[in-house]
Structure 1
Amino acid sequence: MKKILVTPRSFGKFNRSSVEKKLNDAGIEIVYNPYNRIMTKEEMISTLKGMDGLIVGVDPVDEEVLEAAGTLKAIAKYGVGTDNIDLDASRKLNIPVSTTKNANSNAVADYSFGMMAAVARNIVRINNSAKNGDWTKQTAIDIYKKKIGIIGLGAIGKGMVNRCKGFDMEIYAYDVYKDENYIKENNIKFTAVDEMLKECDFITLHIPLTDETKHIINENNLKNCKKNLVIVNTARGGLIDEKALYDALKTNRIYGAAIDAFEIEPPRNSPLLELDNVIVGSHTAAGSEDATNMMTEMAVENIIRDLGGK
């Protein structure tokens, strides 16, 4: 039997028996994450020994981890972002890396729009006040017919476009690849990120973290944005300079933010957690039942294929 390590805690949450049978039929034994949390580099090194495959979430898979694994023949990313995996090292070691592309796009788009609405309408603050007996009416900001900037026009970004069109929003977007036909068909204003922050009432991020996109939201472009700006990040924490964001929120230079991804997770010491104009998630935008099932099934199919199964 071949052996694989599975690190994501939501893997097979709703369809475990069927995917375990599929793996067993392919001659693959599963070893689950023994720590029930994101594993450290040292834990990855020790637990991967003797494994043929890896289904991984956001746990660290750098060159040292890959080289120490020794017997590893395939990696299936449970999700899309591969910034936690050293792709150069995996190529050098001839270890294929697959992703579950598009499996969670609708779930993340739903969650992103929901977080945006929650910040704009002060839903969390109103809920907490009302439960404590405070029936004071709170004024919030509108979404309908406002300007939104979508950074990243992949499957999730396009999902946001569809949802924003239902609110008659004026849509701005940026991506490294400019899909002229899609932009024209959807009446999107394609613009640079700095210009987008000057013009838009809402910004959502849906791009991978790379050297080029690190701190794409930063101190310089936050200086020129609208006072009522709401920023939503359900992608990767490193896309935003968190200190600059904190300063802008603390001084009410922008209206609010919804953050589902932090540079360090969990963000136990982040000052962003102290602010009442910020709502946070536990990097859980993809955590719907349908998305979990689809990511699990795709990761299983990918690892079976790359380990030489059907």
Structure 2
Amino acid sequence: MTHRTRRVVVTQRFFDEAAIAYLQAEGCEVAIADLPAGQADGGLDHDQLVRLLAGAQGWIVGHARVTRFLLSALPELAIVSRRGVGYERVDLEAAAELGRVVTIAAGGNDASVADQAIGMMIALGRRFREAQAQMEAGAWSILTGTDLYRKTVGVVGLGRIGGSVVRRLSGFEARVLVATSRPDADYAARTGVRFVDLEEVLEQSDYVTLHAPLTPATRHMIDARALARMRSGAFVINTARGGLVSDRDLLAALEAGHLGGAGLDVFESESDPAMRPVTEALIARPDVVAAPHAGASTREGLARTNMIAARCVVAVLNGQDPPPECVVADGRRTKVPTA
């Protein structure tokens, strides 16, 4: 069904033709931001965003900061649709008060990020990075690693991605410990996981993988004290949010030889440029496997999240409700949900 033309601006890279065609079929004029190579929308300032979004009713956004000031400057903007699941960079209270809707692409990237977390566990345990570096240098000596098979894995946070990781771990016959604010006895009975507190996860796990949102309560949940509680030689995997881990403390623990290594897709320097030297020191280490916040960036994962984000935009512009699991603020109902 075709509707009057509405302007939708996309400030994310890799927005595919199927999602564009869907928006156009629904009467939307689609504008893809032409960002310089290597720049993401998180690097755009207020004035740049205002120019890009002038006259837009819908915005499909990546990591740009969505402030009260910005929303006030864009009175026609009805929906901010994140092609992702985090929303800590969006002022939800301001969005609700100003009558806007904010959505996330719930369920679109669960499999992609879970695959990455498992892949990092295997790469760290089997020392893939170190082995290839030695071979490139001409040394073909064998480095002994460690299995994921039947190891103890601590999963911190049991949302959609954490649950996807738990399902994958069953194939490795892993003993799974879960730390979450919402333990579920039925889930434990079905899956065989044990719900424990964070301290027990840290003390017993061979691998600790983080899948929690970044909030004031979770910031630096993995700090020097937490790292000291971990088993000698254990691994930390963070594919969730920079800031859950104190990167400076993690670097110190690796330098001291306390940990076996770390798998990192997110870094504090993403939001704090002053932390860039710490990030560079981490990614230079042979016991660190790193990626540039790319956990959701598979062809399949991006296609799923692009379409979810597009469908949320169309629903709001048509005066309808997006899927409830995607809505994090709905100013049409003057309600701000809790994280």
Which TM-score band applies after superposition, normalised by the shorter structure?
over 0.9
Distance 1:226 1:152 in 2: 20
1:47-196 alignment, distance < 5 Å: 47-196=52-201
| Residue 284 (structure 2) pairs with residue 274 (structure 1) | yes
Query: Percent of aligned positions with the same letter in both sequences?
Result: 30
Question: What residue number does 2:330 align with?
Answer: none
Deviation at 1:51, TM superposition (A): 1.5
Structure 1 residues 96, 262: closer, same or farther in 2, change over 3 A? same
Deviation at 1:224, TM superposition (A): 1.5
Distance 2:299 2:88 in 1: 25
Distance 1:41 1:264 in 2: 17
Name the SS for the 2:111 alignment partner.
Answer: helix
Name the SS for the 1:264 alignment partner.
Answer: helix
Which of 224, 239, 242 is the matching residue for 1:219? 224
Name the SS for the 2:50 alignment partner.
Answer: helix
Question: What residue number does 1:251 align with?
Answer: 256
Which of 11, 18, 33 is the matching residue for 1:7? 11
Distance 1:257 1:188 in 2: 23
Question: What residue number does 2:326 align with?
Answer: none
Q: Which amino acid aligns with 1:257?
A: A
**Structure 1, unaligned runs of 5 or more:** none
Distance 1:183 1:58 in 2: 35
Deviation at 1:194, TM superposition (A): 2.0
Name the SS for the 1:125 alignment partner.
Answer: helix
1:137-196 Cα deviation digits (max 9, x unpaired):
112222211110001111211111111111111100011222221122212111111221
Question: What residue number does 1:32 align with?
Answer: 32
Name the SS for the 1:29 alignment partner.
Answer: strand
1:2-21 Cα deviation digits (max 9, x unpaired):
21211111221xxx1x3222
Contact kept in structure 2, 1:44 and 1:60, CA below 8 Å: no
Which of 281, 302, 306 is the matching residue for 2:312? 302
1:36-79 Cα deviation digits (max 9, x unpaired):
42222332233222211110111211222222222211111101
Matched residue count: 306
Distance 1:56 1:113 in 2: 27
Contact kept in structure 2, 1:41 and 1:65, CA below 8 Å: no
| Residue 303 (structure 2) pairs with residue 293 (structure 1) | yes
Distance 1:63 1:246 in 2: 36
Name the SS for the 1:293 alignment partner.
Answer: helix
Distance 1:49 1:302 in 2: 20
Distance 2:151 2:170 in 1: 11
Distance 1:183 1:236 in 2: 26
| Residue 232 (structure 2) pairs with residue 230 (structure 1) | no
Deviation at 1:259, TM superposition (A): 0.3
Deviation at 1:309, TM superposition (A): 6.4
Question: Which stretch shifts more, 124-133 or 104-113?
Answer: 124-133
Question: What residue number does 1:201 align with?
Answer: 206
**Structure 2, unaligned runs of 5 or more:** 321-339
Contact kept in structure 1, 2:129 and 2:286, CA below 8 Å: no
Name the SS for the 1:294 alignment partner.
Answer: helix
Contact kept in structure 2, 1:76 and 1:302, CA below 8 Å: yes
Deviation at 1:230, TM superposition (A): 0.5
Q: Which amino acid aligns with 2:304?
A: M
Question: Which stretch shifts more, 99-108 or 124-133?
Answer: 124-133
Deviation at 1:264, TM superposition (A): 2.1
Distance 1:292 1:75 in 2: 18
Q: Which amino acid aligns with 1:27?
A: G
Name the SS for the 2:66 alignment partner.
Answer: coil
Task: State TM-score, norm by structure 2.
Answer: 0.86
Distance 1:171 1:140 in 2: 21
Deviation at 1:268, TM superposition (A): 4.5
1:73-131 Cα deviation digits (max 9, x unpaired):
11111011111111111111111111111111111111110011101111011112213
Question: Which stretch shifts more, 65-74 or 37-46?
Answer: 37-46
Contact kept in structure 2, 1:49 and 1:70, CA below 8 Å: no
Distance 2:208 2:49 in 1: 35
Distance 1:49 1:202 in 2: 47
Q: Which amino acid aligns with 2:99?
A: N
